């Protein structure tokens, strides 16, 4: 069997993890079942450690694998995230090229995290994950499923599943043709006439997008859009983000963020506001639509690699947050 070489995230397991795993394993009827419970327990601890780094709340005690009767009869390694659901933490032994998903884990899972053990079973690496897939009762799998380790999603993308409203969009990836977030689509999918709206309002910081004629620069631009919904508004608002790369010695990156009404309207609500927040949450830029306006925008200029910012779109007391990085 060929070993799949993947770079995982190393996790240091605590002494408490090993003691709990040994205790749970000793309760089992056979050595084989004991080893399985031992690995499952350590895998759950490893994923919990990672989620603790992300400051996400977890509950070991609520998992099926923490219930003596259930872990004795089921092959489960579930970690509960209160208010969100369960992650399955599947052990991967050295040399294995696939992750097995037992039948009892096929339902009610946000996703499956691959936890690869070292040769001595004393350390682990988190390799990646796959999303959970809901099945109808009449279409549930009848045998364990397997996933090739080469098909795992990056571990960083797990945050997109656990907190989609906080999923950070890397704008440089757009310039490379990489669109990991399916909710961000071509602007024309939402607003067919978004380039020809008759009037709007704008605010900018750090200069403008114009390039002096005496500077040799190559300009590359890409735009994506996302529909924003508010409970108090029957129609959607569309956020269009344009990323502009000006290839000079400074390798500048500029970002234009514009709000439009959806295709069913030609005006934005008067009490709509778009605000740009820096990494500390401080407001650095904002804009409101004028009366009868078809759009409003803000512009960020000279953004540097590693910069992070968020955009708050507020309609009265209701607001939505989108996170971006450069």
Burial 125-146 (b: 16+ CB within 10 A, else e): bbbbbbebeeeeeeeeeeeebe
3-state secondary structure labels for all residues of 234-303: CCCEEEEEEEEEEECCCCEEEEEEEEEECCCCCCCCCCEEEEEECCCCCEEEEECCCCCCCEEEEEEEEE
In a shared domain, residues 62 and 182: no
Over the stretch 181-211, which tens digit does the pLDDT of each residue have?
778 999 988 875 444 444 455 555 544 444 4
Is residue 111 located within the same domain as residue 258?
no
Instruction: Clarify whether residues 146 and 262 are in a common domain.
Output: no
Closest CA to 209 of 105, 301, 323: 301
Rounded to an integer, what is the distance from CA 151 to the centroid of its chain? 17
Select from 118, 112, 116 the least CA-distant residue to 146. Answer: 112
Give a yes or no: residue 3 inside a domain.
no
Question: Of the ranges 4-8, 79-83, 158-162, 311-315, which one carries the lowest mean pLDDT score?
Answer: 4-8
- Its pTM stands at 0.54
For residues 204 and 185, membership in a common domain is answered with yes
Question: Across all residues in the chain, what is the average pLDDT?
Answer: 84
- How far apart are alpha carbons 87 and 63 in whole angstroms? 10
Q: Provide the residue range defining the domain that includes 178.
A: 164-325
Average pLDDT of span 130-151: 74
The predicted model gives 231-250 an average pLDDT of 82
Question: Is there a single domain that holds both residue 271 and residue 180?
Answer: yes
| Per-residue pLDDT reduced to its tens digit, 246-301 | 765 566 789 999 999 988 788 898 889 999 998 888 899 999 998 777 899 999 99
Given 131, 162, 193, the domain boundary residue is 162
How far is Cα 229 from Cα 21, in angstroms, rounded to an integer? 46
Phi, psi of 24 (to 5 degrees): -65, -35
Q: Give the model's pLDDT for residue 4.
A: 41
Q: What is the pLDDT of residue 204?
A: 54
Of 162, 192, 225, the one marking the end of a domain is 162
Question: Residue 154 falls within a domain, yes or no?
Answer: yes
In this structure, the answer to whether residues 145 and 183 fall within a common structural domain is no
């Amino acid at each position: 069997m060929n070993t799949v070489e993947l770079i995982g995230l190393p996790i240091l397991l605590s002494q408490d993890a090993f003691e709990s795993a040994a205790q749970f394993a000793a309760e089992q009827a056979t050595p084989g079942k004991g080893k399985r419970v031992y690995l499952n327990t350590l895998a759950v601890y490893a994923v919990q450690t990672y989620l603790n780094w992300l400051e996400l709340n977890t509950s070991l005690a609520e998992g099926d694998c923490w219930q003596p009767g259930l872990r004795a009869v089921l092959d489960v390694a579930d970690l509960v995230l209160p208010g969100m659901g369960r992650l399955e933490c599947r052990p991967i032994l050295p040399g294995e090229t696939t992750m097995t998903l037992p039948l009892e884990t096929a339902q009610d899972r946000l996703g499956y995290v691959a936890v690869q053990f070292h040769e001595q079973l004393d350390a682990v690496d988190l390799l990646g994950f796959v999303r959970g897939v809901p099945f109808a009762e009449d279409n549930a799998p009848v045998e364990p499923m397997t996933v090739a380790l080469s098909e795992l999603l990056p571990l960083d993308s797990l945050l997109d599943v656990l907190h989609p409203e906080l999923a950070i969009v890397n704008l440089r990836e757009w310039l490379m043709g990489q669109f990991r977030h399916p909710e961000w689509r071509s602007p024309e999918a939402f607003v067919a006439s978004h380039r020809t709206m008759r009037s709007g309002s704008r605010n900018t910081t750090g200069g403008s997008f114009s390039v002096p004629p005496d500077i040799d620069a190559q300009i590359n631009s890409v735009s994506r859009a996302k529909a924003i919904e508010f409970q108090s508004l029957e129609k959607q608002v569309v956020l269009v983000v344009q990323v502009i790369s000006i290839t000079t010695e400074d390798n500048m990156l500029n970002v234009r963020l514009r709000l439009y009404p959806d295709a069913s309207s030609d005006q934005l609500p008067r009490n709509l506001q778009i605000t740009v927040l820096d990494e500390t949450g401080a407001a650095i830029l904002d804009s409101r639509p004028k009366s009868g306006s078809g759009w409003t925008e803000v512009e960020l200029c000279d953004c540097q690699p590693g910069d992070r910012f968020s955009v708050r779109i507020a309609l009265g007391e209701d607001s939505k947050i989108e996170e971006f990085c450069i």
